Amino acid sequence: MSQLRLETLPAPAPLPTAPRRCSTTARLVRPALVLLPLVLVGAWALADRRAAYEGVARLASADPWWLLVAGACTCLTWVAAACVRQGALPERLPTGLLVASQFAAGAANQVLPAGIGAHAVTLRFLQRRGIPLSRATASLALYSLVKPVAKTVVLLAFLVAFPDVLRLGALVPDDRTLLLAAGGALLVLAATSVTLVTVRALRRPVLCFLRTALTDARELHTRPGRVLALWGGAAATPLLQGSVIATVGFSLGLPLSWTQVVLALLVAGTAVGAVPAPGGIGPVDAALVFTMAAFGAPVATATATVIGYRVLTVWLPLLPGALVLSALVHRKVL
């Protein structure tokens, strides 16, 4: 009787299912992320449309063969960036996707200042490849450290190799500027140290990050291929960027040598490269025009050269880079 009664009991009611709001949100987030780069690029281009139009108009009357060389050097800068990214990581990354991610990172870098956009894209790419967060952030830190060190080495090499060709009198900062720069660096270092000492919650993640970064850096420097990719790519980057500026200048009749143009870029980038402007646009451009003028170039030609350089390296690749970024997000590479 009890068995019969148990069999006739109604089936238990199903547990209430979780609302589908999460799945709906996830379904909407990815298209939004795919379209976000295009929206940001459109807004940025709309705000800067006058400079873009002026730059394209100036390039229309330039020597097309020199512009072709400048375009080839521009493409090589993305390859150099991919080499540095690979050299900063022990794991092997797919070459094609890595170069594509750096091309897309260039578009993201024009929207956010201080290289945040490029680092964010690269960090997402590394995490999608299964790289742990601590190792990925350590590779970004190594990348950010190696690039200015390599640029400084290249600058010193130019100063030693060409002491008579270059006139640096107008470019050397005075004692007050040097003292302000040194004081600012010491202030940042002291503030960082005090923060780490007083805020205990930051000690453990920072120490873990430093331990991972030092371990990876030591391992990478025992592998000749990684050392060549890391330091060779970092040293080649300013040379390629300077080559783009020089070839654009040659197409417009700039009366400077390749050596002077490259040094002008190195000096301008060292002087104001720390200013957090999107892609370095603004402060670096003004410093570059001033530096080339100090080397004897007419201000109008130097300005046209910098505008043409920005057209080739920023405005022309901006829409294709945003499309590649959207495609990588759509394919879940990012």
At residue 86, the pLDDT reads 92
Q: Is pLDDT of 9 > 60?
A: no
Q: Is pLDDT of 319 > 70?
A: yes
Residues paired with 278 in a beta bridge: 113
At residue 216, the pLDDT reads 72
Query: Higher pLDDT residue, 244 or 173?
Result: 244
Query: Higher pLDDT residue, 72 or 275?
Result: 72
Which tokens is 279 given? 């892609």
User: Mind listing the pLDDT tens digit for each residue in 202-239?
Assistant: 666 666 666 777 777 788 888 898 899 999 999 999 99
Mean pLDDT, range 4-15, rounded to an integer = 51
d(CA 44, CA 318): 10
Nearest-10 Cα torsion for 192, 194, 198, 202 = 20
53-67, 178-192, 246-260, 313-327, range with greatest mean pLDDT: 246-260
- Strands, E assignment, 42-135: none
At residue 41, the pLDDT reads 47
d(CA 265, CA 248): 13
Give the gyration radius of the chain's Cα atoms. Answer: 25
User: Mind listing the pLDDT tens digit for each residue in 229-286?
Assistant: 999 999 999 999 999 999 999 998 889 889 989 988 888 877 655 555 555 556 677 7
Dihedral (CA of 154, 273, 77, 150) sign: positive
At residue 278, the pLDDT reads 52
3-state SS record for 23-66:
HHHHHHHHHHHHHHHHHHHHHHHHHCHHHHHHHHHHHHCCCHHH
User: Mind listing the pLDDT tens digit for each residue in 289-310?
Assistant: 888 888 888 888 888 888 888 8
At residue 159, the pLDDT reads 82
User: Mind listing the pLDDT tens digit for each residue in 79-111?
Assistant: 999 999 999 888 899 999 999 999 988 887 776
Q: Is pLDDT of 1 > 50?
A: no
Helix, strand or coil, per DSSP, at residue 17? coil
Nearest by Cα to 85 from 146, 149, 134: 146
- Whether 254 contacts 297, CB under 8 Å: yes
pLDDT band at 313 (very low <50, low <70, confident <90, very high): confident
Mean pLDDT, range 47-61, rounded to an integer = 63
